[in-house]
Amino acid sequence: MNENHAKVCTSPEWAEYLQTAVLPTLTRDIDLGDHMLEIGPGPGAATEWLRSRVATLTAIEVDEAAAALLADRYAGGNVEIVAGSADATSYPADSFDAVGCFTMLHHVPTLALQNKILAEALRVLRPGGVLIGSDSLPSTDLHHFHADDTYNPVDPASLLGRLQTVGFEKITVIVDETLKFIAVKPGEPELADAAAQDAA
């Protein structure tokens, strides 16, 4: 990330924006479940909001310094920070009830790698689990903001098709002041043993 990001993404204003305008909209009709994976937490504005809404939050961050800072901040709590790239995690399939990625896809240098991250999100979600995400809309200003940094904005018009091609269903793409998306992994959630016996 360049200096512009260092200022904006660590600011209270950015945290307030994510926490009041983006995340509540994305999660309004969503059950995040118990175990969520956050992709690309950066300085942790979304992490801070999400950690009180799930029993366990795992966050995977490719920038080792950012991951180390978050690991220190959340040591001993319900947030596990992992350093690594979200395109190839070591988690078994069906590990998470929800996956989130906020303002990070445009930092992924190629469309192929973005799609790999979306495919990995699908793999690690349990059937019926939900992916929620947001990103900035492409603009000239945003391009300038990313001087000397990776800038590979997500095209809102093709996002639905991309998510569908990866294998998601029940896809919602919202374009307002920012790009938001919700998508579900096909399949029924497994019933817990007791519930399964009740139903039998």
Q: Please say which residue, 145 or 156, places its beta carbon nearer to ligand SAM.
A: 145
Q: Please say which residue, 116 or 189, places its beta carbon nearer to ligand SAM.
A: 116
Shortest distance in whole angstroms from residue 193 CB to ligand SAM: 34
- Residues 159 and 46: their CA atoms lie apart, in Å, by 22
Q: Please say which residue, 144 or 170, places its beta carbon nearer to ligand SAM.
A: 144
- Residues 152 and 109: their CA atoms lie apart, in Å, by 6
Phi then psi for 134, rounded to 5 degrees?
Answer: -150, 160
Binding site for ligand SAM (CB under 6 A): 1, 5, 9, 18, 39-42, 45-46, 60-63, 66, 85-87, 102-104, 107-108, 117
Shortest distance in whole angstroms from residue 158 CB to ligand SAM: 20
Asked if 14 and 22 count as a contact pair (C-beta separation under 8 A), the reply is no
Shortest distance in whole angstroms from residue 129 CB to ligand SAM: 19
Residues in contact with 62: Cβ distance below 8 Å, sequence separation at least 6, in sequence order: 40, 83, 84, 85, 86
Q: Please say which residue, 63 or 94, places its beta carbon nearer to ligand SAM.
A: 63
Shortest distance in whole angstroms from residue 27 CB to ligand SAM: 15
Look at strands 79-83 and 169-175 and give their pairing.
Answer: unpaired
